[in-house]
Amino acid sequence: MRIYVLRQLVLLIITLFLLTIFAFCLSYWFPGDPVTNSSGIFSDDTMRYADAASSRGFDGNILVQYWHYLAHLFRGDWGISLLDSDPVFEQLQLRFGATLEIAVLAMLIALVPGVALGVLSALNFRKPIDHTILSMSLSGYSIPVFWFAQIAILLVAVRWGMLPIAGQINPLFNIEAVTGSILLDIFINQPENMGLAFRSAIRHITLPVLVLSVMPMMLLIRLTRSSMLDVLDKNYITSAYAKGLSTRRVISSHAIPNAMQNVIRELGSLLSLLITNTMIIEVIFSWPGIGSWLIRSIYERDYPVIQGGLLLIAALILCVHVALNLIHAWRYPQVRKDLHATS
Amino acid sequence: MPRPNLYYEERTPSPLERVWLEFNRNPLARAALYIIIFILILCIFGPWLTPYGPNEQILDAISLPPAWSDDGNIRFLLGTDELGRDMVTRIIYGARYTFGYPFLVVLASAAIGISLGAIAAMTVGVKSSTLKHLLDVLMSIPSLLLALIIIAITGPGLSNALLAIGLVLIPQFLHVTRNAIHDERQKPYVTASRLNGVSDMYLLSMVFFPNIVKVLVIQLTIGLSIAILDIAALGFLRLGAQSPTPEWGSMLAQSLEVAYITPWVMALPGIALFLTLVSVNLVGETLRIAIQKQLER
């Protein structure tokens, strides 16, 4: 296990290193001046431009420049936005919390019904229930999330007027952003009418989270179903039945834990899909997260923001992947053995 | 008059026939196949079937509802949008942008990815584990994010979006081809042909390829579904096809402003996109089941 953890961590560090090289190169590949692209200071601001150029080592060769880039990266000085001169790193910290909030909540909401329906449909293999659940999940993950969100807005928010559709909270509540995640922020700020603030925040968060949770839920159903079907064919299930265990015992303590192994392995690809959908949902619901900022910055050509945002999202995905691999290997020792044998 | 079968011969249907049987067994899957063929026909012959141009404005018919509602007009079967453009025409033209171009892009990147994957798999000894790890990392980053990176460098636009999607799909094909050939490598039939002393080219095209083509076909449908969704998503985010282009995703983005007054302008491109994606996914799924059954025999 120790060797496996080390291997994974070394791999993570190497990929993160490659990622920083890539992000560094981006400021050359973007059209325009590399100094402006990486620091966000225009060349007509002569004094600060010269400052930025010298502090980023632009008088030296490319290796010196990369070294200075890394130093700035670790110092948390990611340049300023070309549009509104906000420091990129501070903004990203705030927006990261907001993005994580809806992504994590959607994943949690998707998890329980997804696994439950998957198990249900595997137990009723090729019966009407199975067919219903399967076709529901097939059409569920084929719905483009941006269209689904619009229909949800049209029906729930406009026709029935039940929920608000934009932002994190009613702007009348003056909540100072600390973590970016609105529910945590209300808790930290302790405003006078906390109950009302919480109600408003929850009403704002409901629709994006629900729309976002549909796709992972549908994929989870399919994953759970196919891995349950594999497991139910195994000999140990037959022997568990032969021991005289009740169906409930067999399913809950033999079939489901083993079926989860495959599901955890596939969870990584599901999470990266979730992240892209989060970006789209943020744009639609004007959620102040990384995704909406990144997409806005792409068509405003705000290069420091693009660079920082891409670096952060890609690093997040890589870290989550490694974490999932580690959890997988820790929970299921037989996987570990396989990995050692093949490597 | 049916002939009695005299011999107990067991006729195994050919692989293609078996795929067809699987489609026949499942009416939904067959419907999906017909829908895809229908969309393909629309892609090719669309301009000859439509009464109006895609950007032609009919000024006396602005924001007309579909023909079956009371205010509708039979000249415009599915109504018109806020600029008086016929929705049927725009959706038929949109099939080209949202289904046709991604289809071509997927074919192109499949050709590149598969040949690169074959080369990677045939050259043993070159740091193939490095390549594998790199590919694993690249595959773990979602395709839309990679496309966004490429578009950030090249700038928004339909051709850049198509280029980005094509580039993003190549590693996936590479990965799948390489893994498939690696899995087949150790099998006895490969060893047998090796002992026969065939050349690498022959080994690749006549021995490996017929046996991995199933995996590649499945990957093709997955890639197509990803490409369609990503092109539409980029169009929706206004980073792909730009405004007057009747691409379904960008039509959805334009309809945002009027969705509350004329909901059909929003609903129709969405339904078209949804039907296309469901059909592609369902056909892919059926192919997968059919191939799995063949492996189990």
Q: Residue A3 and residue A183: Cα distance in Å, rounded?
A: 40
pLDDT at A19 over 70: yes
Cβ within 8 Å, pair A151-B236: no
Tell me how far apart the alpha carbons of residues A53 and A39 are, in angstroms, rounded to a whole number.
Answer: 9
- Is B6 part of any domain? no
B36 part of contact set with chain A, CB < 8 Å: no
In a domain, B287, yes or no: yes
What is the distance between the alpha carbons of residues B61 and B58, in angstroms, rounded to a whole number?
A: 6
CB contact under 8 A, B156 and A306: no
A304 touches A38 (CB < 8 A): yes
Give how many domains chain B has, as a whole number: 1
In this prediction, residue A341 carries a pLDDT of 45
The C-alpha atoms of residue B78 and residue B74 are separated, in whole angstroms, by 9
pLDDT tens readout for residues B250-259 = 888 888 888 7
CB contact under 8 A, B149 and A310: yes
Residue at B7 is within a domain:
no
Q: Are A293 and A81 in contact (CB under 8 A)?
A: no
Provide the mean pLDDT of chain B: 84
Helix ranges restricted to H, chain B: 15-25, 27-49, 87-95, 101-122, 128-140, 143-154, 158-185, 188-195, 200-202, 209-236, 248-255, 263-296
Cβ <8 Å between B156 and A147: no
- Quote the tokens at residue A185: 């922020």
- B65 within 8 A of B264, measured Cβ to Cβ: yes
Q: Is residue B5 part of a domain?
A: no
Neighbours of A300 (CB within 10 A): 13
* A287 to A279, A280, A282, A311: CA distances (angstroms): 9, 10, 5, 20
The rounded distance, in Å, linking the Cα atoms of A225 and A202 is 32
pLDDT reported for residue B1: 52
Q: Does A317 touch chain B (CB under 8 A)?
A: yes
SS3 state at B92: helix
Q: What is the pLDDT of residues B179-205, one digit of tens each?
A: 888 888 888 988 898 898 888 888 888
CATH of A97-288 among 3.40.630.10, 3.20.190.10, 1.10.3720.10, 1.20.1440.130: 1.10.3720.10
Q: Which residue of A has its CA nearest to B139?
A: A269
Q: Which residues pair with B80 in a beta bridge?
A: B86
Among B121, B130, B168, residue whose Cα is nearest residue A18: B130
Chain A interface includes B261 (CB < 8 A): no
**Among A23-27, A67-71, A234-238, B3-7, which range has the highest average pLDDT?**
A234-238
**A245: CB partners within 8 A, 6+ apart:** A254
Instruction: Using the predicted structure, report yes or no on whether residue A310 has a pLDDT greater than 70.
Output: yes
Give the amino acid at B30.
Answer: R
Q: What is the pLDDT of residue B125?
A: 56
Residue A54 has pLDDT above 80, yes or no: no
A to B CB pairs, distance under 8 Å? 107
Has residue A315 got a pLDDT over 70?
A: yes
- Mutation target to probe the B interface, by most B beta carbons within 10 A, among A142, A159, A295, A319 is A142
Contact A317 B140 (CB under 8 A): yes
Best to test chain B binding among A27, A141, A147 (most B CBs inside 10 Å) = A147
**B182 at the A interface (CB within 8 A)?**
no
Three-state SS string over A103-165 comes to HHHHHHHHHHHHHHHHHHHHHCCCCHHHHHHHHHHHHHHHCCHHHHHHHHHHHHHHHCCCCCC
What CATH code is carried by the domain that includes residue B204?
A: 1.10.3720.10
Q: Residue B148 is nearest to which of A146, A150, A298, comparing CB atoms? A: A298
Q: Please state the domain extents for chain A.
A: 1-82+301-343, 97-288
Closest C-alpha to A317, from A263, A279, A282, A284: A279
Mean of the per-residue pLDDT values of chain A: 84
- B173 close to B111: Cβ distance less than 8 angstroms: no
Structural domain includes residue B109: yes
Residue A61: pLDDT band (50, 70, 90) is: confident
Cβ contact, residue pair B144, A269, below 8 Å: no
Which pLDDT score, from 0 to 100, does residue A179 have?
Answer: 77
End-to-end CA distance of chain A: 14
CA distance A116 to chain B (A): 22
Minimal CA separation from A138 to chain B, in Å: 7
Greatest distance between any 2 Cα atoms in chain B:
77
Looking at residue A321, its pLDDT comes to 86
Specify whether the CB–CB gap between A195 and A104 falls below 8 A: no
Rounded to a whole number, what is the distance in Å from the CA of B2 to chain A's nearest CA?
A: 34
Would you tell me which residues 82-141 of chain A have a C-beta closer than 8 angstroms to some C-beta of chain B? 135, 138-139, 141
pLDDT of B100 strictly over 80: yes
Report yes or no: B252 at the A interface, CB cutoff 8 Å.
yes
CB A67 within 8 A of CB A24: no
Max distance between CA atoms of chain A, in angstroms, equals 83
Q: Is B145 on the interface with A (CB under 8 A)?
A: yes
Select from A146, A313, A318 the Cβ nearest to the Cβ of B236.
A146
Contact call for B278 and A139, based on CB within 8 A: yes
| pTM of this structure | 0.86
- Amino acid identity of A113? P
What would the pLDDT profile of A95-138 be if each residue is shown by its tens digit? 888 898 899 999 999 988 998 999 999 988 888 888 899 888 88
Contact B145 A11 (CB under 8 A): no
Distance separating alpha carbons of residues A285 and A104, to the nearest angstrom = 17
Interface membership of A175 toward B (CB under 8 Å)? no
Q: Are A226 and A183 in contact (CB under 8 A)?
A: no
Residue B222 falls within a domain, yes or no? yes
Residue A87 dihedral angles phi and psi, to the nearest 5°: -65, 130
Q: Tell me if ipTM is over 0.90.
A: no
- Which residues of chain B are within 8 Å of residue A276 when distances are taken between CB atoms? 142-145, 233
| pLDDT higher than 70, residue A342 | no
B181 has a chain A CB within 8 A of its CB: no
Residue A13 is classified by DSSP as: H
Q: Find the closest chain A residue to B230 by CA distance.
A: A144
The upper half-sphere exposure of residue B113, i.e. CA atoms within 13 Å in the direction of its Cβ, equals: 26
Give yes or no for A286 touching B (CB within 8 A).
Answer: no
Q: Which chain A residue shows the shortest CA-CA distance from B226?
A: A142
Q: Which of A147, A268, A280 sits opposite B274 (nearest CB)?
A: A147
A154·B266 Cβ contact <8 A: yes
Position A343 pLDDT exceeds 50: no
**pLDDT > 60? residue B75:** yes
